Amino acid sequence: MKHILFSTAMALAVANAAHADTWDMPTPYGDTTFHTQNIAEFAKDVTSATDGALEITLHSAGSLFPHAEIKNAIRSGQVPIGEFFLSRLVNEDAAFGVDSQPFLATSYEDAQKLWAAQKPVVTALLAEQGLVPLFSVPWPAQGLYTNGEIATADDLSGLRFRAYNAALEEFAALAGAAPVQVEAPNIPQAFATGQVEAMITSPSTGANSTAWDFVSHYTPIDAWVPKNIVVVNQRAFRRLPQEVQASVLAAAQAAETRGWEMSAAEADAKIAILKENGMEIVTPSAELQSGLQAIGAQMLEAWSADASEAAASILTTYQE
Ligand code: PCA
């Protein structure tokens, strides 16, 4: 009898252990990036809220899947959860790319409004792929990193320009520059080897990649406020016990709020670090801004021409 009870206890213990889930989570950016730090917090929140029933193991800096493969890895169920740069999906639907349209939404307030308009459309598109968005967090407004001062848009002509998505490629090309795709963790190497000589990114990514080692000037053109998104595979999510699902959603909501606050705090703090390390912070000239805005207007026309009715509705809702 004793023997039987013992075996039952063992079987129960094994069953319980089998119940605890571990989720591998690929992300594209490095550990010093505030997005990654926010996700680490999210993972910790999930573990504590579920008493360890769900553990999320973070694989940052594209170490488990390269950035370009993360979305499809979640879709196919190779991993249950992951993060990527939302506007990378613009080739699937214009709706994904609206936050990377130059000079459309350039403040956090506008970015919030744009996300409110974009979220339902993006959620429906992702649902078609069996994906559920958990939270989305913006980067600080995108600024210009160059050697020497850039007084007009024409000054960008001929520069080998680092790009991270199709919109930035288009922007650089329209300015007469030569775009080259480089993932954030590879920025220092791309500059060191002369593959690129200028870029547009946030003060966060500039500071995290020690931009002062390879460029002298930062011009805060505040061109757009693009977002990362964390999504889960719907099947994997539904397999979780109800109360674990609820804990994940609560932690996600907290992560979105915290992430937007972290982003806002980063903007000035990281510009200060660029300055401390000897970079020149240049107020953009009116001529530069108007030249770049003209490129933005041209791009928005092209975006609109490519937009489905649902995607176009994002713009209408936002502009209301
Ligand atoms: N950093 C990321 C995306 C936008 C940003 O600010 C990058 O440069 O790749």
6 pLDDT band, cuts 50/70/90, is: very low
130 pLDDT band, cuts 50/70/90, is: very high
The pLDDT, as a whole number, for residue 19 is 66
Q: Do 314 and 125 touch, CB atoms closer than 8 A?
A: no
Return the residue whose CA atom lies nearest to atom 4 of ligand 1.
Answer: 201
The pLDDT, as a whole number, for residue 102 is 98
Q: Do 96 and 86 touch, CB atoms closer than 8 A?
A: yes
The pTM (predicted TM-score) of the whole model is: 0.94
The pLDDT, as a whole number, for residue 20 is 86
Instruction: Answer yes or no: is the C-beta of 184 below 6 A from any ligand 1 atom.
Output: yes
15 pLDDT band, cuts 50/70/90, is: very low
For a mutational test of ligand 1's pocket, the pick from 164, 169, 262, i.e. the residue with the most ligand atoms closer than 8 A to its C-beta, is 164
Percent of the chain surpassing pLDDT 90? 94
State the angle between helix axes of 108-127 and 242-276 in degrees (0 to 180), rounded to the nearest 10.
140
Alpha-carbon distance of 185 to 208, in angstroms, equals: 9
Rounded to an integer, the average pLDDT of 151-161 is 98
Q: Which helix (H) or strand (E) holds 199?
A: strand 198-201
Instruction: Answer yes or no: is the C-beta of 234 below 6 A from any ligand 1 atom.
Output: no
Tens-place pLDDT, residues 98-113 = 999 999 999 999 999 9
Span from the CA of 210 to the centroid of ligand 1 (angstroms): 14
Instruction: Answer yes or no: is the C-beta of 163 below 6 A from any ligand 1 atom.
Output: no
**Phi and psi of 84, rounded to 5°?**
-155, 170
Alpha-carbon distance of 53 to 102, in angstroms, equals: 43
pLDDT at 317 over 80: yes
Instruction: Answer yes or no: is the C-beta of 226 below 6 A from any ligand 1 atom.
Output: yes
For a mutational test of ligand 1's pocket, the pick from 34, 35, 85, 108, i.e. the residue with the most ligand atoms closer than 8 A to its C-beta, is 85
Instruction: Answer yes or no: is the C-beta of 247 below 6 A from any ligand 1 atom.
Output: no
Tens-place pLDDT, residues 168-227 = 999 999 999 999 999 999 999 999 999 999 999 999 999 999 999 999 999 999 999 999
Tens-place pLDDT, residues 253-266 = 999 999 999 999 99
pLDDT at 126 over 90: yes
Span from the CA of 184 to the centroid of ligand 1 (angstroms): 6
